[in-house]
């Protein structure tokens, strides 16, 4: 019987890797979850996505269930855990979402955004810069945002940066909330306390990713229309290509944008002082890209995983230079790591954290 496993490396001072301890690691270790009274390493459903916040991690499964590990003092409320910090993944009971399954989630520094199957949005955590989108002075565990979707539309993508969130609708409209002082939530710039439509986008948006102070929006691969709104620090706006046709996936660190095209080539621009762009030079065809706060992870067509960027906490493996960086790229493991044969299904990256999900016998 095939088993679904999650492996992690990187910053772990709050137990955010879910490995059962609180030490940083530079070699991939298996993540564990609470299964009754036991710690299990096998997940009950395929992993849909992994989202890493400042000191916590969310894991969303294909069956619509959500798990959390790490610092729960602000963003993990609603879990079965009773401690402020947990070092294994705990289930978040769906009763806090009115019994509904979850289809999307995102993690800011210490705020979580959850979208359920019926397109309701729940938020929990810090709200100092409107990260929860509830309006000023609103409190409570996982309250719902007032529904702002036009009739008949649904949420197709959700992305968050350090302190702002972007939502993409099925009609191509884009909404955002949080810290928009650099224009990353459109104009006028400033703190946006409730979801606000971003005007002036000339194409139908289908995906979005967020940097620290910018939002990257992209349209259908057939035309490759894209735009960056917000800060141009690290020339992330001014050095962007005119178009990105035939794209397959996108990602963004706090200061870098990555676009993977359908041929397996990775395009990247923006901040590179820690070598964040290094994975774009990998000689193999690339299958997937994941971007953390200041590092990137790729999965090659051959099933290998490589890293570049700021890796001081071990999130880029053991191949860092004396400054804790991987300036080109460092290949960490192949499908045969951990003395077992795994098929790597996906990768994810958070704030100095990296994750690999795989299936094996």
Cis amide leading into 188 (omega within 30): yes
Report the predicted TM-score, pTM, of the whole model to 2 decimal places: 0.95
pLDDT tens column, 258-316: 999 999 999 999 999 999 999 999 999 999 999 999 999 999 998 889 999 999 999 99
What pLDDT does 75 receive? 61
Decide: helix, strand or coil at residue 99: coil
* Integer Cα distance of 218 and 224 in angstroms: 7
Q: Kindly give the pairing relationship between strand 286-291 and strand 305-310.
A: unpaired
What pLDDT does 81 receive? 43
Write the CA distances from 276 to 75, 231, 272, integer angstroms.
Answer: 28, 18, 5
**Ranges of the chain whose pLDDT falls below 70:** 1, 35-39, 74-83, 139-142, 332-340, 361
Two tokens at 2? 């095939």
Hey, how many other C-beta atoms are within 10 angstroms of the C-beta on 64? Answer: 16
What pLDDT does 336 receive? 46
Alpha-carbon 171 to chain mean position: 23
Residues 6+ positions from 256 with CB-CB distance below 8 Å? 211, 234, 236, 268, 269, 270, 271, 272, 276, 277, 291, 296
What pLDDT does 82 receive? 47
| Residue where the block lists tokens 């402020």 | 84
Burial 203-233, CB ≥16 within 10 A → b, else e = ebbbbbbbbbbbbbbbbebeebbbbbbbbbb
Two tokens at 292? 């953390």
Give 39's Cβ-side CA count (13 Å radius): 12
């Amino acid at each position: 019987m095939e088993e679904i496993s999650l492996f992690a490396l990187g910053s772990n001072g709050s137990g955010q890797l879910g490995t059962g301890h609180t030490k940083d690691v530079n070699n991939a270790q298996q993540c564990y979850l609470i299964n009754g009274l036991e710690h299990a390493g096998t997940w009950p459903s395929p992993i849909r996505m992994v989202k890493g916040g400042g000191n916590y991690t969310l894991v969303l499964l294909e069956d619509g269930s959500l798990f959390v590990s790490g610092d729960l003092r602000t963003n993990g409320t609603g879990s079965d855990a009773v401690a402020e910090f947990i070092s294994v993944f705990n289930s978040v009971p769906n009763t806090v979402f009115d019994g509904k399954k979850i289809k999307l989630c995102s993690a800011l520094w210490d705020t979580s955004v959850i979208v359920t199957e019926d397109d309701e949005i729940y938020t929990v955590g810090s709200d100092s810069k409107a990260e929860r989108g509830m309006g000023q002075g609103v409190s409570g565990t996982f309250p719902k945002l007032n529904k702002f979707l036009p009739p008949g539309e649904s949420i197709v993508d959700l992305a968050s940066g350090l302190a702002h969130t972007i939502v993409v609708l099925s009609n191509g409209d884009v909404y955002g909330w949080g810290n928009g002082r650099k224009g990353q939530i459109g104009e006028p710039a400033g703190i946006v306390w409730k979801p606000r439509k971003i005007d002036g986008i000339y194409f139908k948006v289908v995906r979005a990713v967020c940097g620290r102070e910018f939002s990257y929006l992209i349209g259908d691969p057939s035309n490759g229309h894209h735009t960056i709104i917000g800060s141009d620090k690290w020339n992330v706006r001014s050095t962007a290509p005119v178009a990105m046709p035939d794209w397959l996936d996108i990602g963004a660190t706090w200061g870098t944008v990555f676009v993977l095209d359908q041929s397996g080539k990775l395009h990247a621009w923006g901040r590179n002082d820690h070598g964040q762009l290094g994975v774009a030079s990998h000689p193999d065809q690339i299958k997937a890209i994941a971007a953390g706060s200041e590092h990137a992870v790729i999965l090659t067509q051959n099933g290998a995983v490589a890293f570049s960027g700021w890796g001081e906490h071990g999130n880029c493996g053991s191949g860092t230079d004396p400054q804790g960086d991987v300036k080109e790229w460092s290949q960490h493991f192949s499908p045969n790591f951990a003395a077992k044969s795994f098929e790597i299904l996906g990768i994810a990256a958070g704030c100095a954290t990296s994750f690999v999900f795989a299936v094996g016998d």
